Amino acid sequence: MIDSHCHLTSISKEKSEIIKIIDRAKENNINYIVDIGVHPSDLEKRFDILGSMENVYMTAGFYPDYAYSYEEQELSAFKDKIISINNDKKNIYMIGEIGLDYYHNNEDTYKQQHLFEMLISIANELSLPISVHTREAWNDTISILSKNKVDKRGIIHCFSGGLEEAKKVLDLGYIISFSGVITYPKNTMLRDVAKYVPDDMFCLETDAPYLTPQKVRGKKNEPSFIKYIADTVANEKSVNVEKILEMSYHNALRVLDGSIV
């Protein structure tokens, strides 16, 4: 089964520690991990530590916070870097996380929108899906995704909207990814989305080291904690946990394989 979004090198900088984290994930039946990038400069370090690890899928990201400080030429360098990594058979499976974050910064939001659109066009040029980060920016996110079709679609990571937003992104063909946030008592709205979302349109993620599920709050989050998120979704869907984990795995793989239509 899979953790469709986490940041292994943010959980620990030590390779030996990361190996232990992956082992604990395996003991909990999580055999695949998608390691998410946040900036072009993190690729080298991540490949250094994780490149040789089996069943770790790598992405290349450009977090919206950087929209205020990047130079235009960094974008072509980013694209070239991904092309060269993929030519080397080291495989980047997705562009992300990318998106809009008006919680961190809601000034000159056109800068974030521009970067997001540029990155979407890179994803299309490279024929890759995207991992979307969106926080307090639903209207602009949905309008950008509507105007800028991504051939390979993607995943709305750490989905935090309600039914209305869920319907809109599902209509656009995006998979909704539930994180530990769905386990927090006050988030009834998210649990309603879990009840609603079709079985083939959701996946599960920890976003570790962030967003530790309720039952283990206080601990540093890690991929083995997917089970707590699966539990909550299983409850809402009245399906057993194993089945939920399986659905998440198939849905995430469908995106990573680029076979989503």
User: Could you list the residues that contact Zn ion (CB under 5 A)?
Assistant: 207
Q: How far is the CB of 205 from Zn ion (least distance, A)?
A: 8
Structure tokens at 3: 């953790």
Q: Considering beta carbons, is residue 207 or 236 the nearer one to Zn ion?
A: 207
Least distance (Å) between residue 36 CB and Zn ion: 5
- Shortest reach from residue 240's CB to Zn ion, in Å: 28
Is the CB of residue 5 less than 8 Å from the CB of residue 205? Answer: yes
Classify burial at 64, counting beta carbons within 10 Å of its beta carbon; exposed 0-12, middle 13-18, buried 19 or more. buried
What residue number has its CB nearest to Zn ion?
207
Nearest distance in Å: CB 73, Zn ion: 26
Which residues sit opposite 15 in a β-bridge?
A: none
- List residues bridging with 35 in a β-sheet: 6, 58
Using the minimum distance from each CB to Zn ion, give the nearer residue, 42 or 236. 42
Report the SS3 class of residue 249: helix
172 near 217, Cβ under 8 Å? no
With respect to Zn ion, which residue has the nearer C-beta, 35 or 207?
207
- Of residues 3 and 236, the one with the C-beta less far from Zn ion: 3
62 backbone dihedrals φ, ψ, rounded to 5°: -155, 90
